[in-house]
Amino acid sequence: MSCQTDIRVLFCSQDNPRIVLDPQGYYAQFGLDISAGRATIPAVKSLLASCRDADFPIFWTREGHRADLSSLPERELLRSRLAGAEIGSKGPLGRLLIRGEPGWEIVPELDPKEGEPIVDKPMRSAFAYTDFELLLNNRGIRNLILCGVVTDVCVLGTMKDACDKGYDCLLVTDACAAAAKDVHDAIVKSVITEGGICGAAAEAKHVVDVLQMWRSHAEEKKGIAMVEEIMKMARG
């Protein structure tokens, strides 16, 4: 059965590109640990399956720039150069963070389905210089379930912008990761402090449990009731 007209929740997978999660990507090439990022894939897959079963809209985001770098701020070019991974430079998976290159694609394990929008963005936040907010507003979406890599960059950037725009957000802690565990843990702590300054946080299995329970009572518990159950669970 479908309760699409009652659902105001969006599942948003933030930036799961090959350049971060692939052994040939720039994270691995520069000695950064990709194991934590790859470890999120099963959790993201379980969330995808549950959200699709619940008829949740699924949105994907993907950071990348025009081939001529005209969408890249000078400050960001300099930062990437100083970090040793200059945007636009050539690597095993093509030019770094350039649209259309192999490394820019979402990892095949999380291949989006036909009809699931992909928001291509030039910056960290999915709201910056994109039509993401317009797409959300057109569908009446007010609640976001967020996951992806990396926690402290694109995921946090999108979550903070969403919070400031009045969206209620849920960060799925084991479905996102940072280059270092202490950084990831610090971001999760910062999100939920002060009663949830940026939203709520929960593990994938708990979100899936709530979704499955809601689906089994879909006749009497539709859209907004399910939102309240998820957020109540996350805020403990």
Residues 6+ apart with CB under 8 A from 132: 59, 61, 119, 121, 126
Does the annotation count 189 as an active-site position?
no
Query: In angstroms, what is the C-alpha Rg of the chain?
Result: 17
What does the alpha-carbon distance between residue 167 and residue 226 come to, in Å, rounded to a whole number?
16
Cβ neighbours of 167 (radius 10 Å): 21
How would DSSP label each residue in 35-98?
HHHHHTHHHHHHHHHHHHHTT--EEEEEE-B-TT-TTS-HHHHHHHHHTT--TT-EETTEETTB
Q: Residues 15, 55, 120, 152: which is the catalytic one?
A: 15
Q: Is 185 a catalytic residue?
A: no
**Selected catalytic residue, list 12, 51, 147, 154:** 154
Angstrom CA distances, 211 to 5, 131, 156, 197, 214, stand at 17, 28, 24, 24, 5
The H-or-E segment that residue 203 falls in is none
User: How many whole angstroms separate alpha carbon 186 and alpha carbon 170?
Assistant: 16
- Among the listed residues 12, 22, 120, 121, the single catalytic one is 121
CB 127 within 8 A of CB 102: no
What does the block give as tokens for 88? 């636009």
Is position 168 annotated as part of the catalytic site?
Answer: no
| Catalytically active residues, by annotation | 15, 121, 154
